[in-house]
Amino acid sequence: MTTLSTPAAGQVPARAAARYGVDGVASAPLPWRTSGDALGHDSDLDAPEAPRRRTGAGVSGLSTAEDLDRHDKLAMMRSGELGSVHSWELVTAVDGPGTRLTVFLNGCPLRCLYCHNPDTLQMKDGEPVTADELLARVKRYLPVFRATKGGLTLSGGEVLMQPAFAARILAGAKEMGVHTTLDTSGFLGANLSDEMLANTDLVLLDVKSGDPATYEKVTGRALEPTLTFGRRLAESGLPGGVTAEHPVEVWIRYVLVPGLTDQAEHVDVVADYAASLNEIRPGTVTRVEVLPFHQMGRDKWETLGREYELTDTPAPDVELVDRVRDQFRAKGLTVY
Ligand code: SF4
């Protein structure tokens, strides 16, 4: 999908660069704070300013349902009326086309060694926010989305830890005509119903390794559910499929960690996999983002008192990043 804010080839989207660190992209546009003036509107769009890390600045501006008792909270979470939300932010050129309202949900079944969001891993650590409250926030940014061809991105943690909540948000956003994106590892892809899939325009699919043993070492979980989920996304857009009318688009994300995910043969497996999705349905994978590892998440681990195993791991050098990007390009993929 071509958008106003799609970065030029070779650039890395702003927060992705901040998230994993990229040498030589200092000129990439920083996530900007949206204001009414910036878009010619006079409404007070009080988005939290995106800090130079993966998650937003908390749930400021959203009402939280703190007063509910535990029983009511659990019932509302089961029905999807209530979610556990870490934060939200408004970003451009990151997490999908145009300007995005990205919402980070709490809870994740993976334990990635390089996780930049260790404070999102536990569902109990999030803030209780109703689907109605979040959709009111989406509605507020409709002019921004229209002006930039942007939309809503649900991220985490792992968005599919809260499928009922995600389903309500996706359906509500689609009713408003908003472009929707899911940022997911795909491990819980089975939690995505066909109805949710039909309400999803783009999936950012994080494939953390092409080698099952390395995937397990990196995440603590198995690779296969992610691969199965990606194939389902491709097949869903075929004639008779659940997204046949409006085929879901996929961006593959690959975090490049020296000594962990840089083996050429493992990268080739991911590249072959991405290309195979386009063999199932041409045009499924429209972008591959190679995201160089950086140490920016380390302080969060220390704050949480958790052992961080990648303390001595360097960021990949430019040659390595270029080599890996070229491996994906060699399979006919569009790479950033
Ligand atoms: S999938 Fe994402 S949120 Fe979950 S552990 Fe891995 S990096 Fe962290």
Tell me the CA–centroid distance for residue 179 and ligand 1, in Å.
24
Query: Is residue 131, in this structure, part of any structural domain at all?
Result: yes
Query: Is residue 106, in this structure, part of any structural domain at all?
Result: yes
Tell me the CA–centroid distance for residue 317 and ligand 1, in Å.
23
How many separate domains does the chain show?
1
Distance in angstroms (rounded) separating the CA atoms of residues 269 and 274: 9
- For residue 57, the domain's CATH number is 3.20.20.70
Specify the pLDDT at position 305: 84
Tell me the CA–centroid distance for residue 90 and ligand 1, in Å.
20
Specify the pLDDT at position 55: 60
Give the residue among 158, 154, 153, 155 at the shortest CA–CA distance from 111.
158
pLDDT (tens digit, 0 to 9) for every residue of the chain, 336 residues total? 222 222 223 333 444 333 322 222 222 222 332 322 223 233 334 554 443 345 666 888 888 988 889 999 999 999 999 999 999 999 988 999 999 999 999 999 999 999 988 999 999 999 999 999 999 999 999 999 999 999 999 999 999 999 999 999 999 999 999 999 999 999 999 999 999 999 999 999 999 999 999 999 999 999 999 999 999 999 999 999 999 999 999 999 999 999 999 999 999 999 999 999 999 999 999 999 999 999 888 888 988 888 899 999 999 999 999 999 999 999 999 999
- With the most atoms of ligand 1 within 8 angstroms of its CB, the residue from 155, 158, 204, 208 to mutate is 158
**β-pair type (249-256, 285-292):** parallel
Tell me the CA–centroid distance for residue 38 and ligand 1, in Å.
33
Query: Is residue 8, in this structure, part of any structural domain at all?
Result: no
Helices 224-236 & 264-280 angle (0-180, nearest 10): 30
Indicate the SS3 state at residue 202. Answer: strand
Q: Burial of 252 by CB count in 10 Å (0-12 exposed, 13-18 middle, 19+ buried)?
A: buried
160 lines ligand 1 (CB under 6 A): no
Q: Containing domain of residue 307, as a range? A: 14-329
- Which atom of ligand 1 is nearest to 120's Cα? 3
Q: Report the DSSP beta bridge partners of residue 181.
A: 153, 202
Tell me the CA–centroid distance for residue 227 and ligand 1, in Å.
17
The string over 104-126, giving b where at least 16 C-beta atoms fall within 10 Å of a residue's C-beta and e elsewhere, is: bbbbbbbebbbbbbbbbbebeeb
Cα four-point dihedral sign 317, 318, 319, 322 = positive
Distance in angstroms (rounded) separating the CA atoms of residues 218 and 303: 21
Answer left, alpha or beta for residue 177, where phi above 0 means left and psi between -120 and 50 means alpha: left
Specify the pLDDT at position 47: 52
Q: Burial of 51 by CB count in 10 Å (0-12 exposed, 13-18 middle, 19+ buried)?
A: middle
Specify the pLDDT at position 44: 39
Specify the pLDDT at position 13: 40
31 lines ligand 1 (CB under 6 A): no
Specify the pLDDT at position 304: 87
Phi and psi at 202, nearest 5°, equal -145, 140
Indicate the SS3 state at residue 88. Answer: strand
Query: Is residue 211, in this structure, part of any structural domain at all?
Result: yes
Query: Is residue 72, in this structure, part of any structural domain at all?
Result: yes
Specify the pLDDT at position 1: 28
Cα four-point dihedral sign 71, 72, 73, 79 = positive
Query: Is residue 335, in this structure, part of any structural domain at all?
Result: no
Query: Is residue 7, in this structure, part of any structural domain at all?
Result: no
**In this structure, are residues 149 and 4 in contact, taking their beta carbons and an 8 Å threshold?**
yes
Indicate the SS3 state at residue 316. Answer: coil
Distance in angstroms (rounded) separating the CA atoms of residues 245 and 61: 36
Which single residue is written with the structure tokens 């386009």? 278
Give the residue among 264, 274, 316 at the shortest CA–CA distance from 294.
316
Distance in angstroms (rounded) separating the CA atoms of residues 67 and 83: 14
Query: Is residue 2, in this structure, part of any structural domain at all?
Result: no
